[in-house]
Amino acid sequence: MTVYAAPGTPGSKVTFKSRYENWIGGEWVAPVKGQYFEDITPVTGKPFAEVARGTAEDIDLALDAAHKAAPAWGKTSPAERAAVLNKIADIIDANVEMLAVAETWDNGKAVRETINADIPLAADHFRYFASAIRAQDGDHAQLDGDTVSYQFHEPLGVVGQIIPWNFPILMAVWKLAPALAAGNAVVLKPAEQTPVSILVLMELIGDILPPGVVNIVNGFGLEAGKPLASSNRIRKIAFTGETTTGRLILQYASANIIPSTVELGGKSPNIFFSDVAQEKDAFYDKAQEGFVLFAFNQGEVCTAPSRALLQKPIYDSFLADAVIRAKKIIQGNPLDTDTQMGAQASNDQLEKILSYIDIGTKEGAILALGGERADLGGDLTGGYYVQPTIFEGHNKMRLFQEEIFGPVLAVTSFIDYDDAISIANDTIYGLGAGVWSRNGNVAYRAGRDIQAGRVWVNNYHAYPAGAAFGGYKSSGIGRENNKLALGHYQQTKNLLVSY
Ligand code: NAD
């Protein structure tokens, strides 16, 4: 067990500045209007840094810098860009603990996640796209004796990116890595709830990139995000966030006829067929973990398995075991490596979660566990903690249909295979899903029949670089984490040449 010292206390891995500016053109630039907002750590509920409150004027400055940088960066070779991306990955790897503590302090999630997953994955995604761009081929076809059609990939130029607060560094990297690999210059707006850890990352990697290739403008959605997404000076907008915001982004983009990729919300079903409980062995244990742990690592994951579907014969026993297991979840100081469940990212999020617990109770769902704000005592009393919460109900309830984005698991039963698939697909979303069965045929078939961009079969919550990630239905348009994402940041040029 390690308990990392809180930033600002002796022995901490992180020293935050008291004030963060925007990163524009390779330097820290104060906001044009001179306004700042507070970044609050969910761990204690106290502010720890001031951050530039960007507006349309700052977005313009960043776009100036990006336009200046884009032509030269776009002309570098894939090998040159790959070298830069690999260097960034090396720096991230050399600073995993520091970045993990910064991320945990900014977002509230348990450090065992940031240190073992979020930050190492960020490095790996840079490496993946460094390889992917070097391996990307164009194509050509001899159309007749005299004519050849050549297809080339070109960078789009300057692109805008807007990200949410649930994986601040990793979400930034999912967007930056393919965009940079493809040769674009970027203006990125972090979420206002969690801007600082990305800026700490920029302190480490900012100088490796030519000035203006990556620009970070902080601020709120309408003040900084909208001017970026609706600017006619970007050639693409990439967005991750709520489905309602995604709709607005698509509207802004349509006015300028630019492509947009939107990674949106989810309400992922996690299906457990009866054979899972045929023995109480290692497989059963893994399935129990898949039911409990990934719903309760704060639950602020777009693919959180927030709807559990249990086949009738095992409903009571499997749920009873899961409740026992959920009671043992270690909720505590997010900077303690033993902690499995940390804080929710913001007070607004905490209140939203509590309001859904209220909604669930009012619509008649049965509370099987939790249901309240958690007071962890000491310095953590002001932090944003919610008990792991399990409700039993049916799929028509709001609890089962609306994204809560917190540690609230809605459980229901199903009769047979068709019933399971029908309940699973009865949602506007289609981002993630889980299937658990010892029967390979059933698991495979269900994996194919569920309408979701990612189905975990007999596992959950892994996001390896290379495995395409994105949504069906209202969960989004586009794919990340895979070489397919390069295409989202490239223009196709065709030369039709007669010899
Ligand atoms: P959000 O939509 O409220 O905000 C996301 C970002 O958009 C923030 O940076 C915000 O400032 C900005 N924004 C808000 N309004 C805007 C506007 N009108 N114009 C431009 N920018 C605007 O989402 P959130 O609450 O930060 O994030 C949680 C959501 O993100 C959940 O729905 C979750 O499922 C989703 N998410 C999806 C994925 C995925 O890959 N599909 C990954 C992580 C999170």
Q: Please spell the DSSP secondary structure of 356-372, one letter per residue.
A: HHHHHHHTTPEEEE--S
The minimum-distance atom of ligand 1 relative to the CA of 189 is 9
- Indicate the burial class of 233 (C-beta count within 10 angstroms; 0-12, 13-18, 19 or more): middle
Measured by CA distance, the residue closest to atom 10 of ligand 1 is 221
For the chain, residues classed under CATH 3.40.605.10 are 19-264+475-493
Q: Which of 103, 263, 392, 403 is catalytic?
A: 263
Measured by CA distance, the residue closest to atom 16 of ligand 1 is 221
Handedness of CA 182, 183, 187, 191 (dihedral sign): positive
The CA distances from residue 477 to 157, 249, 400, 470, 474, in Å, are 21, 12, 23, 7, 8
Residue 181 and residue 213 in contact, taking contact as beta carbons nearer than 8 Å: no
Q: Which residues, listed in sequence order, are joined to residue 366 by a DSSP beta bridge?
A: 392
CATH homologous superfamily for 269-457? Aldehyde Dehydrogenase; Chain A, domain 2 (3.40.309.10)
Instruction: Report residue 328 as tokens.
Output: 């043992």
Q: Is 175 in the pocket of ligand 1 (CB under 6 A)?
A: no
Give residue 353 CA to ligand 1 midpoint distance, Å. Answer: 17
Measured by CA distance, the residue closest to atom 23 of ligand 1 is 241
Give residue 175 CA to ligand 1 midpoint distance, Å. Answer: 14
3 state SS of 159: strand
Predicted TM-score (pTM) of this structure: 0.97
The minimum-distance atom of ligand 1 relative to the CA of 220 is 11
The label of the residue with tokens 């239905």 reads: 473
Give residue 43 CA to ligand 1 midpoint distance, Å. Answer: 21
How confident is the prediction along the chain (499 residues), in pLDDT tens digits per residue?
A: 899 999 999 999 999 999 999 999 999 999 999 999 999 999 999 999 999 999 999 999 999 999 999 999 999 999 999 999 999 999 999 999 999 999 999 999 999 999 999 999 999 999 999 999 999 988 999 999 899 999 999 999 999 999 999 999 999 999 999 999 999 999 999 999 999 999 999 999 999 999 999 999 999 999 999 999 999 999 999 999 999 999 999 999 999 999 999 999 999 999 999 999 999 999 999 999 999 988 888 999 999 999 999 999 999 999 999 999 999 999 999 999 999 999 999 999 999 999 999 999 999 999 999 999 999 999 999 999 999 999 999 999 999 999 999 999 999 999 999 999 999 999 999 999 999 999 999 999 999 999 999 999 999 989 999 999 999 999 999 999 999 999 999 999 999 999 8
Measured at the alpha carbon of residue 30, what is the angle toward residues 347 and 109, in degrees to the nearest 5?
A: 30
Identify whether 263 is a catalytic site residue. Answer: yes
Q: Is 403 in the pocket of ligand 1 (CB under 6 A)?
A: yes
DSSP symbol at 44: T
Residue 246 and residue 476 in contact, taking contact as beta carbons nearer than 8 Å: yes
Measured between alpha carbons, how far is 38 from 19 in angstroms, rounded to an integer? 9
Q: Is 242 in the pocket of ligand 1 (CB under 6 A)?
A: yes
Q: Which of 245, 248, 303, 351 is the best mutation target for the ligand 1 pocket, counting ligand atoms within 8 Å of the beta carbon and taking the most?
A: 245
User: In this structure, which topology does domain 19-264+475-493 adopt according to CATH?
Assistant: Aldehyde Dehydrogenase; Chain A, domain 1 (3.40.605)
Q: Is 245 in the pocket of ligand 1 (CB under 6 A)?
A: yes
Give residue 25 CA to ligand 1 midpoint distance, Å. Answer: 25
- Indicate the burial class of 493 (C-beta count within 10 angstroms; 0-12, 13-18, 19 or more): exposed
The minimum-distance atom of ligand 1 relative to the CA of 252 is 19
For the chain, residues classed under CATH 3.40.309.10 are 269-457
Sheet containing strand 389-392, edge to edge, reads 366-369, 389-392, 408-414, 307-311, 269-272, 432-436, 454-457
Cα torsion at 294, 299, 304, 310 (round to 10°)?
A: 70
Residue 52 and residue 27 in contact, taking contact as beta carbons nearer than 8 Å: no
Measured by CA distance, the residue closest to atom 11 of ligand 1 is 221
Q: Is 229 in the pocket of ligand 1 (CB under 6 A)?
A: yes
The minimum-distance atom of ligand 1 relative to the CA of 245 is 2
